[in-house]
Amino acid sequence: MNPRLTQSQQRTICAQLRRFKLKLLYKASIHGFTGAAFHQRCDNRSPTVSVGYNNSGFVFGGYTKQPFSQSGQYVNDDQAFLFTFNGENLIKYPVTNPTYAVRMIANSGPYFGETLVLVNGSQAVTYSNPGNYYNFPAAEMHGNDLNMTECEVYEVEGTTELERAWRTVIWESEKRTELIEYIKSYKPTVSSVTQPRVLLIGPVGAGKSSFFNSVSSVFRGHVTNQAIAGSSSTSLTTQFRSYSVKAGREGKPLPIILCDTMGLEETKGAGLDIDDLSSILKGHLPDRYQFNPSAPLHPEAHGYRTSPGLKDKIHCVAYVIDASKVSIMPTGLEEKLDAIRKKVNLIGIPQLVLLTKVDEACPLVKEDVRNVYKSGYIKDVVQEVGSRLGVPLSCVVPVKNYSEELELDMNCDILLLSAVIQMFRFVDDYFDELSDRMSSMQTTERNEVKKQLYQPE
């Protein structure tokens, strides 16, 4: 039984519901356009998404958390909504009177509050009466074409809690202290670099600036907002910034620099310019360089480093991806990330993924961040983002940034600190690879690499 709802449409609905999968229960063209066939396959199943299709090409329907029955009664549901698709975009119409959200009628299919009925009266037709408990423009919802070519009902599969965590984490204050001390005492294997540089790359709003703020907060002992962060449809970061994390208010800089860039945007000529990326990776870009998405960096720009040393280059790239939006990542954005990944691979810089907003993506994690590695949903998202970005699962690290909190949380700190240590491990890999290359090169080439490795500050 093949679903008619496209994979992209399924992902859009799942993202709206903060769930991962839809399971097809009923398909009218196979089981029959009758109330009996619908109830036989869908009663006592919940939550559900019901979808209607017509010859005009409209895809529309409704969601309810309540299980279907044949009681004849109205059922209260404050989370119910109707929807229609405009291309790949979902338009949502919330219930206006939750008391009458859904009605359980034996001789019909999904019945949403005297407003929208699919398979009405056991016929391949839609009943539509906007204004009664749901408001929607009929022309926008279904194009006033009430003859149905198909009706499907999907059960929404919720988050599963795994019996065993798929990664081991020690959630104790002693572990937090141990991680902090490790980061403070870390030293790169190359003497010419005291602070490895990690470049954060990701879509607008994924949490790049927030990640720096969150790591800084751990070492400051309270939530801070040094880097500009917030919610916007376009990048709030307009300059290339190199942030050094300090151990305490007046403490020494930690052995890491987090470099922030403009957010990636789907459209061309917006967000981070991929041509600027090479300049960033190779260390040419000065701090506070003002990005211009319509024109790449010019060598004559103020502060441009013509001969950057190893300490100026990027030693690790971290892609920052919103866990709640992985399934609906636009094709244009995915293509940009793929082009970036290939460019970084050519230069030989290690890459990892910071999976942010795991609490927004999964109710289990929102309840307790320690469930992050017990969540079957988060594990599925990690596998999907690894597949989409072409990186091993071991390179995907879930984190929760500080966003609305006023006080620190030990468990969030442990995830953030663990991510920084993973960065250090990737940096070590970079320097090890550089040293290996030096040992296998001819004398002239070896001397050039040696100059990079041991160039003084």
Angle, nearest 10°, between helix axes 410-440 and 208-220?
110
Strands (E), 373-424: 396-398
In a domain, 1, yes or no: no
Looking at residue 266, what DSSP letter applies?
Answer: S
**Domain check: are 233 and 359 in the same one?**
yes
Instruction: Enter the tokens of residue 419.
Output: 């991510």
| Residue 234, C-beta contacts closer than 8 angstroms, at least 6 positions apart | 204, 263, 265, 270, 271
pLDDT tens track of the chain, all 457 residues? 899 998 889 888 987 887 767 899 999 999 999 999 999 999 999 999 999 999 999 999 999 999 999 999 999 999 999 999 998 889 999 999 999 999 999 999 999 999 999 999 999 999 999 998 999 999 999 999 999 999 999 999 876 778 899 999 999 999 999 999 999 999 998 888 999 999 999 888 888 989 999 999 999 988 887 765 444 444 455 677 888 888 877 778 999 999 988 777 766 655 566 777 888 898 887 777 776 655 566 666 666 778 888 998 999 999 999 998 887 777 888 888 888 899 899 889 999 999 999 998 888 898 899 999 999 889 988 998 998 888 999 999 999 999 888 899 999 999 999 999 999 999 999 998 888 777 766 555 556 665 665 555 4
Residue 444 has a pLDDT of 55
DSSP 180-207: HHHHHH---SSTT-SS-EEEEE-BTTSS
**Domain check: are 275 and 365 in the same one?**
yes
Domains identified in the chain, total number = 2
Residue 250 has a pLDDT of 74
In a domain, 230, yes or no: yes
**Domain check: are 120 and 219 in the same one?**
no
Residue 457 has a pLDDT of 46
| Region for residue 205 given its phi and psi (left: phi exceeds 0; alpha: psi -120 to 50; beta: otherwise) | left
In a domain, 66, yes or no: yes
Distance CA(55)–CA(61), nearest Å, equals: 15
**Domain check: are 298 and 205 in the same one?**
yes
**Domain check: are 73 and 123 in the same one?**
yes
**pTM attached to this predicted model:** 0.72
In a domain, 162, yes or no: no
Helix (H) or strand (E) holding 335: helix 331-347
**Domain check: are 232 and 341 in the same one?**
yes
Tell me, what CATH number does 448's domain have?
3.40.50.300
| Residue 445, C-beta contacts closer than 8 angstroms, at least 6 positions apart | none
Give the structural domain span for 315: 173-454
Instruction: Enter the tokens of residue 43.
Output: 């009663």
Distance CA(319)–CA(328), nearest Å, equals: 17
| Residue 222, C-beta contacts closer than 8 angstroms, at least 6 positions apart | 407, 408
Peptide bond into 196 cis (omega under 30): no
Q: Which among 79, 29, 47 is positioned nearest to 154, based on CA atoms?
A: 47
Residue 429 has a pLDDT of 92
Q: Calculate ∠ Cα 406-207-345, nearest 5°.
A: 145
